[in-house]
Structure 1
Amino acid sequence: MTRVLGPVGDVHRARDLAQTLLAGLPERWRHTIGVARRAEEVRGTVLSAADGEVLLIAAWLHDIGYAPALHQTGFHPLDGARHLAAAGWPARIAGLVAHHSAARCVAEARGLAEEMQTFPDEQSPVSDALLYADQTVGPNGVTMNVEQRVADMLDRHGPDSPHAAAHATRSPVMRAAVQRVQRRLATMRHPPSAA
């Protein structure tokens, strides 16, 4: 009989899977740790307990598609989501990984939009918080603001990359999600006074 894990067990399982798959990619692993820490910081302030667990699971798993063993398309959000779906992870987790950080914009530039439609594209406080965590942590787990992160990403991928091609549509989506999370955080820290 297969043991069914609860959310906390799934967070640990997600962390362990990411650590195993990203073992040969130390910079990516440090980024993943930073994203999970950032997700931990915001989860209780902007999400319900259940959604906070989903956020942590997705944060640990968001970049597993970089693992060489998972390369199918060469597009890490899609490759990671395909692996998770094949391994029996919930569709919601696979969808959050597939579409993290407005990946659909880059997928279109890469000619992978149809393949991405296999996975649900959740537009929610959870997807916003995942984007916020990912786009405020740079390579090696260094904290950055979204503008620094976007500039670094464009520099690393180059002016002829799908990232650069998608920049005009992707960047406003990312900025808007980061701003929504920042507003939620500000409201939680300074709730409006009761009238």
Structure 2
Amino acid sequence: MVNSVGHADWAHDLAKGLLQTTLPRRWAHTQGVAERAASLAPILGGETDTLIAAALLHDIGYAPDLVDTGMHQLDGARYLRDVVGADDRLCRLVAYHSCADNEARQRDLLDVLTAEFRHEQPNLAQALTYCDMTTDPDGRHLDVEDRLAEIHSRYGRDHLVSQSITASTPCILAAVKSINTALEHSRARNA
């Protein structure tokens, strides 16, 4: 069984093996999300390694060999749980990243998601949402509003993913605001 503590290197190798060749742009995004996660150490302390591992693993459900339901959050979390034996916290973070319950609702998978995985602590879930939603597909950092616009542009407004993002926007914005506030407080304390 693999646990989340001290396993950012393990998560890096797993994600790289699943994404680098088949989905190089997704791999670039994943690396940018992990870089963003590392930058949150001042507010997460000992939880930073768990967040980095989750950031590296958050999109593995897109890997062609892992696609089952079409909901990458659920497919990735199931792979981590059922195949890899990953720590339950990592599975939960992947399952619910970036307000995934809204996409599950759109796909009629909410009952499945909630039956298989419970929510993770708000601080880590918000931090992962922050990292994902402030990193573009090429791994560059950007404002959340630009990231939301990029997703809508890439998928088109009528696509299920765009509809899910629209439903998730209040949750996403609240997560980004919460993390930005925590970072501001941390900087003020250390100034």
- TM-score of the superposed pair, with normalisation by structure 1: 0.91
Partner of 2:151: 153
The verdict on how the C-alpha distance between 1:5 and 1:111 changes in structure 2, with shifts beyond 3 A counting, is closer
Corresponding letter in the other structure for 1:177: A
Identity of aligned residues (%): 39
The verdict on how the C-alpha distance between 1:192 and 1:6 changes in structure 2, with shifts beyond 3 A counting, is closer
2:3/2:87 contact within 8 Å kept: no
- Identify which of 96, 99, 107 aligns with 2:96: 99
Distance in 1, matches of 2:58 and 2:187, equals: 28
Could you give the per-residue CA deviations for residues 65-120 of structure 1, whole angstroms, max 9, x where no partner exists? 01001010111111100000112101111010010000111110111111211112
**Structure 2 counterparts to residues 68-83 of structure 1, below 5 A:** 68-83=64-79
Distance in 1, matches of 2:4 and 2:161, equals: 36
Larger displacement relative to structure 2 (60-69 or 105-114) = 105-114
Larger displacement relative to structure 2 (104-113 or 28-37) = 104-113
Distance in 2, matches of 1:120 and 1:148, equals: 30
Distance in 2, matches of 1:29 and 1:168, equals: 25
Larger displacement relative to structure 2 (177-186 or 149-158) = 149-158
Could you give the per-residue CA deviations for residues 99-143 of structure 1, whole angstroms, max 9, x where no partner exists? 000011111011111121111212421111111110000111121
Unaligned runs of 5+ in 2: none
- Asked if residue 57 in structure 1 is aligned to residue 53 in structure 2, the reply is yes
- Asked if residue 111 in structure 1 is aligned to residue 108 in structure 2, the reply is yes
Distance in 2, matches of 1:138 and 1:28, equals: 10
Distance in 2, matches of 1:120 and 1:60, equals: 20
Distance in 2, matches of 1:20 and 1:40, equals: 21
Secondary structure (helix, strand or coil) at the match of 2:100 reads helix
Corresponding letter in the other structure for 2:85: G
- Identify which of 85, 89, 101 aligns with 1:88: 85
Secondary structure (helix, strand or coil) at the match of 1:12 reads helix
- TM-score of the superposed pair, with normalisation by structure 2: 0.93
Distance in 1, matches of 2:53 and 2:163, equals: 30
User: What is the CA-CA distance between 1:169 and the residue it aligns to?
Assistant: 2.7
Distance in 2, matches of 1:19 and 1:167, equals: 26
- Asked if residue 48 in structure 1 is aligned to residue 45 in structure 2, the reply is yes
2:4/2:50 contact within 8 Å kept: no
The number of aligned residues is 188
User: What is the CA-CA distance between 1:165 and the residue it aligns to?
Assistant: 2.4
